[in-house]
Amino acid sequence: MKVLKFGGTSVGSADKIKNVAKIINDDEEKIVVLSAMSGTTNKLEEIATLFLNGKKEEAVVQIELLKKNYYQVVKELFKSDEYQIKGQELIKQHFDNLLSFTKDVFTRYEERAVLAQGELLSTALLQFYLEEQKIKSTIIPALNFMRIDKSLEPDEYYIRENLKRELAQYPNIKLFITQGYICRNAFGEIDNLKRGGSDFTASLIGAELGADEIQIWTDIDGFHNNDPRFVEKTFPIHELSFDEAAELAYFGAKILHPSSVLPAKNKNIPVRLKNTMQPDAPGTLITENEVEEEGEIKAVAAKDGITAVKIKSGRMLLAYGFLRRVFEVFERYKTPIDMITTSEIAVSVTIDNPQYLPEIKKELESYASVEIDRNQSIICVVGNLIAEGKGIALKVINALEDIPLRMISYGGSKHNISVLINAEDKIKALNELNNKLFKFD
Ligand code: ASP
Ligand code: MG
């Protein structure tokens, strides 16, 4: 059994949906996880925000516009009158549901129901298309098995048991379709795994079923050695370890949701990144193996929107417990820390969510002086044992000789060297690293 996840751009038009049907139509047993058609979740977020702000008429205008797009998709997708009608009914039903929110009080609960429509629509459209093509398949609704607990973590036991029960209902079917992203929460309400969460869905399903492979299909041929949006010459990386992929996914390479690495890693299930536009290209294979040479630099990624917080106190000198007090403040405000550097009298940390920064600063200032630098970027260099090998840090620092470095993090993991720089130097840094760390034939 394989799990194949197709992202929003891979199901972004009638033609693309047809293309997905082609890719999944063989005799292998598989579960296909779909995102919403590209742009839909953003639109639904916009609509929900309008509702939350009481702007019902504007919400209705946006709903009608989106509905039109979907009618167009139906028109292009189905050949027969029968499925044209089925498709139109489907669209009408989902959009009537959206329009019905004009009558209710609109809370965060309704918001999550609105956000769920995208994946419900894309999967229903694919299923109808497969039926029209006489390809045997069925939908297993994610809302029947995907669930998060009270701490918003996946409820693995629930997922496994319910998924198995769903599948057992269809002993003669090999092709299953389900929704990414959406789930139920501990109260049984409709919820979601956060933006980009369809990868996480695929990984959880793969892990719970002990799948042979989890495939993430997008519109680019795997992880690249650098960010193609900012650097001209990049190339796909064919193999990565789970640890390397986790670092890259977290530090900015948008192709894979960072949470999705862990379930696969825990159960040692290979993850393959594939390109729907070039299904035969090898893409990137992520496994436990660290087969490459030691000390090989594999990729560079950047994460924007970083805030650095420098906490300085004479009391830190020769004191124990100081770091604990600092970290407890971040913990109380549920603010994750990414990078850390320390000296004897100061510690600098970075965060990417500044929501509670004023409160955090105020608490820290009761025993330390606090300096804040906004608009920073983390540049992350990833490779096998690069933070152990000889001379590799030197290469990285040399490549960045013209760029002011605010923090350097080396040795936290064997696979990563990170530096913090001003966001305005990011593109230059990515290009310098590309020119000086990689060989191009
Ligand atoms: N449709 C959701 C989003 O746009 C989930 C996903 O695509 O992974 O964030
Ligand atoms: Mg995605």
For the stretch 192-217, pLDDT in tens is 999 999 999 999 999 999 999 999 99
For the CA atoms of 222, 226, 232, 237, the dihedral, rounded to the nearest 10 degrees, stands at -40
- d(CA 233, CA 219) in angstroms, rounded, equals 18
Is the CB of residue 198 below 6 angstroms from any atom belonging to ligand 1?
A: yes
Structural domain includes residue 254: no
Q: Specify whether 197 is located in the same domain as 334.
A: no
Domain boundary among 219, 245, 274: 219
Residue 371 forms part of a structural domain: yes
Average pLDDT over residues 144-167: 97
Percent pLDDT > 70 in the chain is 98
Amino acid identity, residue 65?
A: L
Question: Whose CA is closest to atom 8 on ligand 1?
Answer: 196
Stretch 129-136: mean pLDDT: 98
Query: CB of 180 closer than 6 A to ligand 1?
Result: yes
In the listed set 164, 189, 219, which residue is the last one of a domain according to the structure?
219
- What percentage of the chain carries pLDDT values higher than 90? 85
Return the bridge partners of 250, or none: none
39 belongs to a structural domain? yes
Asked if residue 197 has its Cβ within 6 Å of ligand 1, the reply is yes
Both 179 and 49 in a single domain? yes
DSSP letters of 367-380?
Answer: TSEEEEEEEEEEEE
Q: Which of 324, 321, 367, 347 is nearest to 407 (CA)?
A: 347
Whether 314 has a pLDDT exceeding 70, the answer reads yes
- Tell me: pLDDT of 41 over 90: yes
Q: How far away, in angstroms, is 8 Cα from ligand 1 center?
A: 7
Give the Cβ contact number of residue 330 at 10 Å.
Answer: 18
Exposed/middle/buried for residue 327 (C-beta within 10 Å: 0-12, 13-18, 19+): middle
Between CA 282 and CA 273 the distance in angstroms is 8
- Span from the CA of 256 to the centroid of ligand 1 (angstroms): 11
> Which residue(s) pair with 342 in the sheet?
347
Nearest CA to ligand 1 atom 5: 196
CATH number at residue 305: 3.30.2130.10
Q: Taking a C-beta distance cutoff of 8 angstroms, is the pair 283, 222 a contact?
A: yes
Is pLDDT larger for residue 394 or for residue 289? 394
Question: Which ligand 1 atom minimizes the distance to the CA of 119?
Answer: 1
The pLDDT score that the predictor gives to residue 319 is: 75
Q: Is residue 251 part of a domain?
A: no
DSSP string, 66-83: HHHHHHHHHHHH--SHHH
Establish whether residue 12 lines the binding site of ligand 1, counting it when its CB lies within 6 angstroms of any ligand atom: no
- Residue-wise pLDDT for 389-436, tens only, equals 788 899 999 999 999 999 999 988 888 999 999 999 999 999 999 999
With a cut of 80, say whether residue 254 has pLDDT above it: no
Where is the domain boundary, 198, 219, 240? 219
Q: At 186, phi and psi to the nearest 5?
A: -60, -20
Regarding whether 310 and 206 lie in a shared domain, the answer is no
Residue 35 lies in a domain: yes
CB-neighbour burial class of residue 175 (10 A; exposed 0-12, middle 13-18, buried 19+)? buried
pLDDT band at 441 (very low <50, low <70, confident <90, very high): confident
| Bridge partner list, 300 | 381
Instruction: Classify residue 23 by burial, with Cβ atoms within 10 Å: 0-12, 13-18, 19+.
Output: middle
Angle between helices 357-364 and 322-332 (to 10 degrees): 150
pLDDT in tens, 82-110: 999 999 999 999 999 999 999 878 999 99
Burial 392-411 (b: 16+ CB within 10 A, else e): bbebbeebbeebeebbebbe
Same domain? 304 vs 215? no
| Same domain membership, residue 308 and residue 184 | no
In tens, the pLDDT along 333-353 reads 999 999 999 988 899 999 999
Q: CA triplet 212, 201, 266: central angle to 5 degrees?
A: 55
Domain identity same for 8 and 145: yes
Over the chain, what is the mean pLDDT? 94
Number of domains within the chain: 2
Say if residue 42 is in the same domain as residue 160: yes
Same-domain check for residues 151 and 16:
yes
Nearest residue to 177 via CA among 129, 112, 114: 129
pLDDT at residue 292 in the model: 58
Question: In terms of DSSP bridges, do strands 213-218 and 2-6 run parallel, antiparallel, or are they unpaired?
Answer: parallel
**E-strand spans in 243-326?**
271-275, 284-287, 296-312
| Beta bridge pairs of residue 312 | 346, 369
Query: Are 295 and 385 a contacting pair, CB within 8 Å?
Result: yes
Q: What's the predicted TM-score (pTM) here?
A: 0.90
Phi/psi at 183 (nearest 5 deg)?
Answer: -160, 180
Same domain for 102 and 16: yes
Residue 371, pLDDT above cutoff 80: yes
Domain containing residue 61: CATH number? 3.40.1160.10
Structural domain that includes position 137: 2-219
Pick from 5, 41, 111 the residue to mutate for probing ligand 1's pocket: most ligand atoms within 8 Å of its CB: 41
